[in-house]
Amino acid sequence: MEKPFAITLDPGSSLANHTGSWRTSRPVYIDRLPPCNKQCPAGEDIQGWLFHAESGDYESAWRHLTKDNPFPAIMGRVCYHSCESVCNRGQIDEPVGINSVERFLGDEALKLGWKLTPPSSESGKNVLVVGAGPSGMSAAYHLRRLGHSVTVYEAGPLLGGMMRFGIPKYRLPRDILEAEMQRVVELGVKVNLNTKVDNILNTMADGKFDAAFLAVGAHIGKRARIPAGDAAKIVDAISLLRSMEGEEKPMLGRRVVVYGGGNTAIDVARTAKRMGAEPLIVYRRTRAAMPAHDFEMEEALQEGIMVKWLSTITQADESSLTIEKMALDETGFPQPTGEFETIEADSLVLALGQDVDLGLLEGVPGLEVKDGVVKVAPNMMTGHPGIFAGGDMVPAERNVTVGIGHGKQAARHIDAWLRGEEHVPAVQHEVANFEKLNTWYYADAPKTVRPMLDIIRRQSTFDEVQGGLDESTALFEARRCLSCGNCFECDNCYGVCPDNAVIKLGPGKRFQFNYDYCKGCGMCVAECPCGAIKMEAEEI
Amino acid sequence: MSFQPVHFYQTGTFTVGNRLLEASERSVQANIERTNSLNSGHRACQGCGEALGARYAIDAAMNAARGRLIAANATGCLEVFSTPYPETSWQIPWIHSLFGNTAAVATGIAAAIKVKKQKGQMGDVRVVAQGGDGGTTDIGFGCLSGMFERNDDVLYICYDNGGYMNTGVQRSSATPPAARTATTMPVGPEPGNQFGQGKFLPAIAMAHEIPYVATATVADLRDLEYKVTKAMGMRGARYIHILVPCPLGWGAASEDTILLARLAKETGIFPVFEAENGEITGNLKIRRKQPVEEYLKRQKRYAHLFGKKPAVATIARLQAAADKNIRKYGLLDQEAN
């Protein structure tokens, strides 16, 4: 080729030299499963919705979130956010405040009136949901989005189930609950309130339902055999919390003793405190052994609630209780000591767990009931074809998020079952654990703390205890996410390649390797902050 | 006024790009339309720090000069791997000089441009000279010192990998103490390269009181681009010294190139700073201070310091040198201590 004076070589002519042939291993883009997503009982793609929130696109974040869970404003208040306890950021400074961002998104949606996406087509199938609690309403939502006609039968007078009749107002304001419930109803879900299902098979036959999802919850308070005088006032926790929702508030007196060590015991004690009583929790084991979440115990203690550890109640009388002190044996189990004391008490509230009312299942063939709950297969179907169940009435941890997760899973299986197919969940990616990350690249930023209500108002009113984040702090919090295992387009691979062997495809499209020139040095893998590239051996 | 990092947009300015920053705040390297001055197909080793550093620096210079740039290049790794006849990886006007005279060649180009501009025969074109540490600190030092002394309008960039790597890893005057090379073998009472010899060229450049002197590493892209851009905004003799780890010569894993550059900075072994007219005006602070062992133990050129009987005294001398850098260049934030 003719070239001008002193020009000998064509620019970039080294492209003829395919250095990719040097390679013995190749980098490959992958998605790994972030620990938070793996942990979430509702199966939320937390990293996925935080990605949208990071850029301030809250509506996209909310839409991404509600693909899995239609109740972010409720979740942001009552979910125990076990996601945060496994967050990789916790090993750098503090976990990302996932729950507080979720609440911000939920509240933003309610404020701006964002609506859930209606189904794109109708399936013509008719599904019955029994129980309008978290699990039932989650199932109703997912089934409706899949195009099925959904009818919810609820024994109580209002939507929400345990979220209304079990969780006190100071944790979940009722306008929030109602708004998120109604948003599901607006999708075209039919609701029959005050309608108790006595016999599921009859109800299904009468309503021509093709399948049913049962989520009646566990509303019967467990009783303990405590010898009691005639005048002793003993109530169970769940009835007490339910009566808080009615016109006539319960009369408990001044000295209220709550027996139990679960979250419900704490809810009752904090409720009693707000009604002007002086609650005392009696629990037979120690704080370390109590099933209640430690942060709830901490909040209760801040509000001035007293606790008697290692104590059992042996006798209840009109205005006093007899308590026996316990001592832990070598195995950590509490044993009676024979040491007694008497304490004053106007009423005793038993918070010893709840049972399920399984009356509606009587006479249904194929069902298996064990330990008071209904057995279900991995596809959430009971032993009776077409009847699925979830929430507190099946064997699982009992909380709102687990129930919501059951509702989603069941909806997907019901949908497949109605088509005569089987829903096969996608294979999970390998987990993006801390060792897969290069944390050098993340800016230092400690967690944003949510505001708490003044202690005086917490002791005397039912105002919400925990506040929310405002826009700027929510954005800050979202941006603390490390995006574990999923490319967030930081351009590091594109930058650090000494061979320009990474092709940038543009916003939202991520990157591609140019294996003609990639020498397989592995720098992109080492310098990827979030562990979204791995090396694979070449076949030679 | 040194590089001002953006503190908090998830990864701030630590990563190459950041979708959360305004376009104007993003790096040259993040741009889909960057020059790729040194294109694919070059024959540098896997994980070559110099190939990376050269693209980082020249792309930034091209960006600052709006594509009107000529580069002179000393003989050395960079020239050998980028331009084996009949191919070249360069996508800019580029000239290969002798090993020792690239500063003088660049001076000549700058003079020619000046005359052509005066005659109205061409517009403004900027000149960059580049070479490795051998071509800069040893063989080309006389020409370079002359270029500084005359304050010629050239930005000279030295890619320092601490030795003559493409000829078989021989010692240069930029080889660090205790490092093994083919000519400083780990034998005798003081194995590896001698203490107390060699030179730190940025300090010598500062002594010429030229308009701008800076050091950088391939681990801090944003700082590197900031310095090249700043240098391109000035006239006269300017010098940037970039630490570029060499997997071959250092005996390191190819994926550790950036990690080693980062550790060189974080331990204080390589001070990252800038100076104007002979006075230090800014530095890049250590973010997470590390002991020198973290840097040394990943390189086979220091393997003789570890083994069964670690050379505690030698490691302590290297630590003392790093600590001296930290004091001398003020590399630790007082608040962080």
Closest-CA residue in chain B for A53? B20
pLDDT for B7 equals: 62
Final residue belonging to a domain, choices A329, A354, A379: A354
Is residue A423 in a domain? no
Residue B237 belongs to what domain range? Answer: 23-329
**How many CB atoms neighbour CB A468 within 10 A?**
19
Is residue A431 in a domain? no
Is residue B16 in a domain? no
Banded pLDDT at B273 (limits 50, 70, 90): very high
pLDDT for A66 equals: 98
Closest-CA residue in chain A for B84? A14
Is residue A413 in a domain? yes
Is residue B31 in a domain? yes
Please count the CA atoms within 13 angstroms of the CA of A154 that sit on its side-chain side: 25
Give the minimum alpha-carbon distance from B67 to chain A in angstroms, rounded to a whole number: 14
Q: Whose CA is closest to B71, among B228, B294, B265, B222?
A: B228
Do A412 and A448 belong to one domain? Answer: no
Closest-CA residue in chain B for A12? B89
Residues of chain A with pLDDT under 50: none
pLDDT for A258 equals: 95
Closest-CA residue in chain A for B7? A443
Do A27 and A79 belong to one domain? Answer: no
Surface-to-core class of residue B82, CB atoms within 10 Å of its CB (0-12 exposed, 13-18 middle, 19+ buried): buried
CB contact under 8 A, B40 and A501: yes
Is residue A179 in a domain? yes
Residue B2 has pLDDT above 70, yes or no: no
Per-residue pLDDT of B112-139, as tens digits, reads 999 999 999 999 999 999 999 999 999 9
Do A227 and A209 belong to one domain? Answer: no
How many domains is chain B built from?
Answer: 1
> For an interface test with A, which of B20, B25, B46 has the most A Cβ atoms less than 10 Å from its Cβ?
B46
* Closest Cβ–Cβ partner in B16, B82, B253 for A494: B16
pLDDT for A1 equals: 61
- Residues of A (49-68) whose Cβ lies below 8 Å from B: 54-55
Final residue belonging to a domain, choices A302, A334, A354: A354
Is residue A427 in a domain? no
How far apart CA A533 and CA B14 sit, in angstroms, is 18
Helix (H, G, I), strand (E, B) or coil at A504: strand
Contacts of A497 in chain B (CB under 8 A): 52
| Phi, psi angle pair for A70, to nearest 5° | -80, 0
How far apart CA A245 and CA A174 sit, in angstroms, is 10
pLDDT for A447 equals: 73
Banded pLDDT at B337 (limits 50, 70, 90): very low
Residue B6 has pLDDT above 90, yes or no: no
How far apart CA A404 and CA A136 sit, in angstroms, is 8
CB contact under 8 A, A523 and B257: yes
Q: Report which DSSP code applies to A44.
A: -
Contacts of A520 in chain B (CB under 8 A): 46
Residue A161 belongs to what domain range? Answer: 126-219+356-418
Contacts of A522 in chain B (CB under 8 A): 46-47, 253-255
pLDDT for B1 equals: 52
Give the minimum alpha-carbon distance from B9 to chain A in angstroms, rounded to a whole number: 6
Q: Any alpha helices (H) in A366-419, and if so which ranges?
A: 400-418
Per-residue pLDDT of B213-269, as tens digits, reads 999 999 999 999 999 999 999 999 999 999 999 999 999 999 999 999 999 999 999
Closest-CA residue in chain B for A16? B41
Residue pairs spanning A and B at CB distance below 8 A: 162
Do A162 and A280 belong to one domain? Answer: no
Do A40 and A18 belong to one domain? Answer: no
How many domains is chain A built from?
Answer: 4
Is residue A425 in a domain? no
Domain of residue A88, CATH code: 1.10.1060.10
Q: pLDDT above 70 covers what percent of chain B?
A: 97
Q: Report which DSSP code applies to A32.
A: -
Closest-CA residue in chain B for A477? B10
Give the minimum alpha-carbon distance from A488 to chain B in angstroms, rounded to a whole number: 8
Is residue A73 in a domain? yes
Domain of residue B219, CATH code: 3.40.50.970
CB B227 within 8 A of CB B211: no
Closest-CA residue in chain B for A491? B17
Is residue B44 in a domain? yes
CB contact under 8 A, B55 and A19: no
The maximal CA–CA distance of chain A, rounded, in angstroms, is 114
- Report the Cα–Cα distance between both ends of chain B, in Å, rounded: 22
Is residue A428 in a domain? no
* Cis ω before A378 (30° cut-off from 0): no
* Closest Cβ–Cβ partner in A11, A491, A516 for B16: A491
Per-residue pLDDT of A99-113, as tens digits, reads 999 999 999 999 999
A516 touches B: beta carbon within 8 Å: yes
Closest-CA residue in chain A for B34? A495
- Residues of A (7-36) whose Cβ lies below 8 Å from B: 8-19, 22
Is residue B54 in a domain? yes
Q: Whose CA is closest to A73, among A397, A481, A469, A480?
A: A469
Helix (H, G, I), strand (E, B) or coil at A26: strand
The two tokens of residue B17 are 């790009």
CB contact under 8 A, B221 and A495: yes
Contacts of A516 in chain B (CB under 8 A): 40
Is residue B102 in a domain? yes
CB contact under 8 A, B44 and A498: yes
How would you classify the pairing of strands A347-350 and A234-236?
parallel
Contacts of B30 in chain A (CB under 8 A): 491, 494-495
- CA torsion sign for A244, A250, A254, A259 is negative
Closest-CA residue in chain B for A503? B32
- Residues of A (403-462) whose Cβ lies below 8 Å from B: 440-443, 445
> For an interface test with B, which of A22, A54, A440, A444 has the most B Cβ atoms less than 10 Å from its Cβ?
A440
Is residue B154 in a domain? yes
CB contact under 8 A, A517 and B40: yes
CB B268 within 8 A of CB B325: yes
How far apart CA A242 and CA A237 sit, in angstroms, is 9
Do A234 and A301 belong to one domain? Answer: yes
Surface-to-core class of residue A507, CB atoms within 10 Å of its CB (0-12 exposed, 13-18 middle, 19+ buried): exposed
Do A243 and A319 belong to one domain? Answer: yes
Q: Whose CA is closest to B50, among A184, B58, A29?
A: B58
**Secondary structure of chain A: what % helix, strand, coil (to 5)?**
35, 20, 50
A344 touches B: beta carbon within 8 Å: no
Give the minimum alpha-carbon distance from B195 to chain A in angstroms, rounded to a whole number: 32
CB B249 within 8 A of CB B179: no
A480 touches B: beta carbon within 8 Å: yes
- CA torsion sign for A37, A40, A45, A47 is negative
Give the minimum alpha-carbon distance from B42 to chain A in angstroms, rounded to a whole number: 6
- Placement of tokens 């026996």 in the chain: A324
Is residue B214 in a domain? yes
Per-residue pLDDT of B301-320, as tens digits, reads 999 999 899 999 999 999 99
CB contact under 8 A, A523 and B255: yes
Q: How far is CA B29 from CA A25, B2, B34, B224, B227, in A?
A: 25, 20, 6, 11, 14
Which 3-state string (H, E, C) describes chain B?
Answer: CCCCCCCCCCCCCCCCCCCCCCHHHCCCCCCCCCCCCECCCCCCCCCCHHHHHHHHHHHHHHHHCCCCEEEEECCCHHHHHHCCCCCCCECCCEEECCCCCHHHHHHHHHHHHHHHHHCCCCCCCEEEEEEEHHHHHHCCHHHHHHHHHCCCCCEEEEEECCCECCCCCECCCCCCCCCCECCECCCCCCCCCCCCCCCCHHHHHHHCCCCEEEEEECCCHHHHHHHHHHHHCCCCCEEEEEECCCHHHHCCCHHHHHHHHHHHHHHCCCCCEEEECCEEEEECCCCCCCCHHHHHCCCHHHHHHCCCCCCHHHHHHHHHHHHHHHHHHCCCCCCCC
The two tokens of residue A18 are 């395919």
The maximal CA–CA distance of chain B, rounded, in angstroms, is 69
Do A194 and A135 belong to one domain? Answer: yes
- Residues of A (517-536) whose Cβ lies below 8 Å from B: 517, 519-523, 525-527, 529
Banded pLDDT at B25 (limits 50, 70, 90): confident
How far apart CA B249 and CA B110 sit, in angstroms, is 34
Domain of residue A145, CATH code: 3.50.50.60
The mean per-residue pLDDT over the stretch B83-100 comes to: 95
Is residue B104 in a domain? yes
Domain of residue A519, CATH code: 3.30.70.20
> For an interface test with A, which of B40, B62, B85, B290 has the most A Cβ atoms less than 10 Å from its Cβ?
B40
How would you classify the pairing of strands A211-214 and A126-130?
parallel
Helix axes A58-66, A46-54, angle to 10 degrees: 170
Q: How far is CA A38 from CA A41, A405, A436, in A?
A: 8, 12, 16
Closest-CA residue in chain B for A508? B19
How far apart CA A67 and CA A141 sit, in angstroms, is 10
CB B152 within 8 A of CB B107: yes
pLDDT for B8 equals: 65
| Phi, psi angle pair for A312, to nearest 5° | -120, 155
Q: Whose CA is closest to A177, among A275, A74, A326?
A: A74
> For an interface test with B, which of A482, A483, A521 has the most B Cβ atoms less than 10 Å from its Cβ?
A521
CB contact under 8 A, A488 and B17: no
Q: How far is CA B133 from CA B158, B205, B283, in A?
A: 6, 14, 22
Closest-CA residue in chain A for B6? A443
**How many CB atoms neighbour CB B305 within 10 A?**
25
Contacts of A525 in chain B (CB under 8 A): 255
Task: Please name the helix (run of DSSP H) or strand (run of DSSP E) that holds residue A30, with its range, or none.
Answer: none
Stated pTM of the model: 0.91
- A466: which residues sit within 8 A by CB, 6+ positions away? A77, A171, A450, A451, A452, A453
Do A262 and A380 belong to one domain? Answer: no
